[in-house]
Structure formats: C-alpha cells, structure tokens
Structure 1
C-alpha cells in the first residue's frame, strides 16, 4: 500500500467517523498495475495500488469503479453497463480460433474386406504433408464418383510472443551496473540515462517467411523511480543482439507510445515501419532515452507479441 493511499484512506476514515463522509466513493481507473490492482483518481487525488476483487474482470483504463474508502481503499465493483455482451463476443472469437485449430475425422476403421455402405472411393496413392504444424492428406483416386471438398482457406500462423534475453541501463557511454532495470532521464544531475531490451535474433527468426500484421509490446513502470504520476516512455529502436560494453547507440525514435503511472502495466502497438525493421533484422530491440528529471523513470517487461497475416 503506497503512502498516498494510506494518507487518503486515513483522511476518509476520519471523515466517516465524524459523519461527514461515506463508505463508498466512485473513482476512475488511470492504470492497471503489475500486482493485479489499479491506480485510480479518487476525489481529486491519485491513489496507487488499489486491490480489486476477482469479479472485476476485463479491467481497462477509463473504467469507473466503486471504491470502499478507509485506511486501505479497495475496489468493490465496476460502474456502468453490463459487460456481458462484450464477454460473449470475446468467448465466441476464442471458440472459433480453437475450432479452427482442431482437425476432425469422424471415424477411422479398417479390415480385410471392403467397407460397407455407400459413398466410398478407392484410394490408389495417399499423400501427406505438414503445413504450419498441421497435417494435410490428399488421396489420389483411380476414378471420382463424388467430387472432392474444397480445400479450407489457410489461416495465418499462430501469434508468437518473444521475451528479452536481457536488459539494462547506460550512462556516460558505458553500462550502469547499479541499476536493475532500463531507465530514462536524469534525476540527480549525473547524466542522462538510456535503457535497452535485447532479444538476440529471436524477433527476426520468429518472423522469417511470414507476413507480420502487428507487434504489441508490454511494459511495466517500476516503483521507486521518479514521480508516481504518469510519465511517457520515449521509445527507440536499436541494432544490438546483446548489451554493448560501451555506449548503447539509438536508432529510430523517439515514439511516445505509452504513459504509465507507478506500478502500471500497459501495452502499445509498434509503428508499422518498426515492425518491418525488427522482422527483417535491420533493428534488433527496443530502447528508452530522456534528458532531465521530468520523465525520469524505470521500466520492466518488454515482451513482444507478434501476429501474422
């Protein structure tokens, strides 16, 4: 529980004790956190790491929620329309995806005699192959008495999630070994920090021979680094497969795709040009960089979900 949350909780608890406050207040979600809670705007103050019940599903930034005030504020439920229709559509999409991944043969039998019943065709030569991990069968017939079904349209390859092999921070042209996560900015005047995530050749390997539809990256704003309020990530590309011994030189950028408050976890879709560069191997990973103390912050995560078309 953050100091801000405790202070606000104590203030609200005192108000309730004197009869001037209520037990439930509405708040708006400003970020989802890596601990399963949310950061909310409540009564003009930002409260961090507010826990949520399991029943509060499909959480997203911008939700209005009911918060039980007190020494430890807790989200009770989401306000607004019933999300049932949205959940229904999501379930149908998942069911359709699973169904297309299943290969069905109604029956498989054999014996020394010809099969009984009608509609059978005699196979002279069977062929088999594997495409995208799925088995395809083709039967060459001596003669056709029943037309062949059409070949189902091919589906895109399944998405792939690539995680960093390593990460780190650089200052003054060399690695800053005192920091556990990638940092950006300069909080103390010691020089601007830059951070990087390194994937080896995994991104290009995952994209080889495929057409990339999108790349979505996930980051988490680390606690104890700069102001608790939202700060933008100033993202760049880099061309390193592993951390350099000297300066981490930056490629294309910056792109400010995400703004996160402390403890928040968020996703961002990478620009199409960046997807092309990463898929081809002309870029290898992601970096952050900022000057001054305003956007000083540390970030973790860095997994990239790649979808194909």
Structure 2
C-alpha cells in the first residue's frame, strides 16, 4: 500500500469513528490489478492495491462499491445488482461440447446394441491444452458424429522487449513507451513468430482480444493509455523497431492493473493473414510513460 493510500485510510477511519454507525463509504473501481486487488478512486484520491472481501464477486472496472474505511481499507461489496452472465453464450458453449457418458472395459465384447469395433485409435494435440481422438473402425454401422468446430485459440508472445535510439534497450526486457529521464523515447513490442497466422489458417476470425498488465514502478499511478501499433517482425530485430499501423488507444490502465483490448477489424485481418506479425507500443515524452507485460492474444472463430 502506498503512503498516500494509508494516510487517506487513517483519515477516513477517524471520520468514521466519530459517527455512531461507522459503516462503509462509496468508491469507484478504476482497475482490477494483477494480484487480485483493485485500484479505487475514493474522496478524490487514487488508492492502489485495495483488498476485496469474498462478498465482492464478478469484479469489473468502473464498479461502484462499498468500502470499509480504516488504516487499510477493504472493498466489501458492489453497490447495485451483480452482473448476469450471458445465458445465450453459455447455452451455445454447452451445446458444442461432446461428452462421454461412461468409460468401462473388460476382456469380452460389450453388451447391448450400437457398438462398433475400433481397430486403431488415433490422437493429436488440438492446441490450448486440448486433444482430439479418432477411432478407425472395421465397419461403420453408424455415422460418425460431427466434431465441433474450433471456437477459439490462445496465443502467447514468444518474446518481448523495448527499443531506444535505434537499438534494443539493454535495461528493459519488457515493452515500454515514452521517456521519463530525457534519454530518448522508448518503443516496445511483443513477438509471436508465425503462430497467430497459423492458428487462423483455414478459419474465419470473428474477433481478436489482447490482455495486458501495467507494470508497477513506471510513470504516474493513474490511468495511462497504451499507444498501440502493429509490426511485421516474427522475432526481435537487432536494430530499430519499425512501426506499422497505429497508434490506437484501445486501453488505459492504472499501475498494477490488468485489462483486455479488442483489436480493430482491419488489424485482426492483417494478423490473421500474416501480413502483420505482432503488436508494439510507442509514445513521446513523460505524460504517457509506462511499462507493460502480458500480450496474450485470444482469437475467436465464427
């Protein structure tokens, strides 16, 4: 907890103790962080890494919440109803899942009708921790069920880094944007090889989303926009990192916060086709100076 957060908590504790009821105060969630806490705007001040009670479920950015004040404030619950999951999406997901009712074995043939003798089993990795099974049968007495179409894929960056003054910055192995010290503006990038295009080959891409985390210890604590670009490198260049389409300000994060940006349709089409290979950030000066990690791409197919 920062000293400013602690001081505000102590002030609120004294104010609350002077009332008969005590209780909670209202605050707005600015961001969800990478360690399960939240950043709050309360009483005109930004509080970082505020812990949450289990009663605060389905946490989201911009929620209004009840906070128990004190030397270390705690978020108790959301003000208003909990968000409801999209039942249509849930039903579609369940409908596409193939299930196995029972697994048994023995030394003889199974009893009952409808069985087919499997001569040779085949197996392969389908990505994202999933596998596919195929059985070669002697005679197909019943048609095979249709395998569900792939709904999505998760692609992680193979490497990342920052560049300054036309060469890779030796002090930062994570992407940064802007300049804090006057040594020159930083630009950062995430590299994926050819994995994004490979994951999209032969499929229709409906959306691409990218998850980022704002690293601590860089720039101001309040929200800073990411200035996103595309690039066409499969791996990190030794010289200057050149930028392509951009900038797009798709996401703003306070320090320690985690968020997801939806890429524009034109960007996802280029990444899916392999005409662009990865993502970069770049800003000038100290205003939007910040460091980021993450870069995991979630691809949804239609």
Q: Please classify the TM superposition score into its range, dividing by the shorter chain length.
A: 0.7 to 0.9
> For 2:13, what is the secondary structure of its paired residue?
helix
Distance in 2, Cα, partners of 1:57 & 1:269: 24
2:285 equivalent in structure 1: 292
Distance in 2, Cα, partners of 1:21 & 1:12: 14
Distance in 1, Cα, partners of 2:158 & 2:114: 55
> For 2:94, what is the secondary structure of its paired residue?
helix
Distance in 2, Cα, partners of 1:278 & 1:170: 22
Encode CA deviations 1:76-95: one digit per residue, 9 max, x unaligned.
11121144xx2583894487
Note the 1:155-170 alignment, pairs <5 A: 155-170=148-163
> For 2:287, what is the secondary structure of its paired residue?
coil
Matched, 1:302 2:289: no
Distance in 2, Cα, partners of 1:239 & 1:206: 17
Distance in 1, Cα, partners of 2:197 & 2:20: 61
TM superposition shift of 1:167: 0.9
Asked whether the 8 Å contact 1:186–1:193 carries over to 2, the reply is yes
Note the 1:144-155 alignment, pairs <5 A: 155=148
Asked whether the 8 Å contact 1:15–1:21 carries over to 2, the reply is no
1:191 equivalent in structure 2: 184
Encode CA deviations 1:47-82: one digit per residue, 9 max, x unaligned.
111111233221111211110111111111112114
Asked whether the 8 Å contact 2:121–2:133 carries over to 1, the reply is no
Distance in 1, Cα, partners of 2:89 & 2:205: 25
Asked whether the 8 Å contact 1:67–1:75 carries over to 2, the reply is yes
Distance in 2, Cα, partners of 1:28 & 1:206: 39
In the superposition, relative to structure 1, how do residues 134 and 41 fare at CA in structure 2: closer, same or farther (>3 Å)? same
2:37 equivalent in structure 1: 37
Distance in 2, Cα, partners of 1:120 & 1:37: 54
2:169 equivalent in structure 1: 176
1:101 equivalent in structure 2: 98
Note the 1:193-212 alignment, pairs <5 A: 193-212=186-205
TM-score under structure 2 length normalisation: 0.84
TM superposition shift of 1:227: 0.9
TM superposition shift of 1:155: 3.3
Structure 1 unmatched runs, 5+: 142-147
Asked whether the 8 Å contact 1:23–1:70 carries over to 2, the reply is no
Question: After the TM superposition, which of the residue ranges 154-163 and 99-108 deviates more from structure 2?
Answer: 99-108
In the superposition, relative to structure 1, how do residues 134 and 90 fare at CA in structure 2: closer, same or farther (>3 Å)? farther
TM superposition shift of 1:222: 1.0
Encode CA deviations 1:176-210: one digit per residue, 9 max, x unaligned.
11124211112222211100111122212222222
TM superposition shift of 1:152: 6.1
Asked whether the 8 Å contact 2:67–2:77 carries over to 1, the reply is yes
Asked whether the 8 Å contact 1:238–1:285 carries over to 2, the reply is yes
In the superposition, relative to structure 1, how do residues 263 and 190 fare at CA in structure 2: closer, same or farther (>3 Å)? same
In the superposition, relative to structure 1, how do residues 107 and 172 fare at CA in structure 2: closer, same or farther (>3 Å)? closer
Q: How many aligned residue pairs are there?
A: 295
TM superposition shift of 1:245: 0.8
Structure 2 unmatched runs, 5+: 127-131
Encode CA deviations 1:284-309: one digit per residue, 9 max, x unaligned.
11100011111111111111111212
Distance in 1, Cα, partners of 2:114 & 2:36: 57
In the superposition, relative to structure 1, how do residues 172 and 281 fare at CA in structure 2: closer, same or farther (>3 Å)? same
Note the 1:226-265 alignment, pairs <5 A: 226-265=219-258
Asked whether the 8 Å contact 2:230–2:244 carries over to 1, the reply is yes
Asked whether the 8 Å contact 2:58–2:82 carries over to 1, the reply is no
Question: After the TM superposition, which of the residue ranges 174-183 and 70-79 deviates more from structure 2?
Answer: 174-183
> For 1:100, what is the secondary structure of its paired residue?
coil
In the superposition, relative to structure 1, how do residues 104 and 269 fare at CA in structure 2: closer, same or farther (>3 Å)? same
CA RMSD of aligned residues (A): 3.3
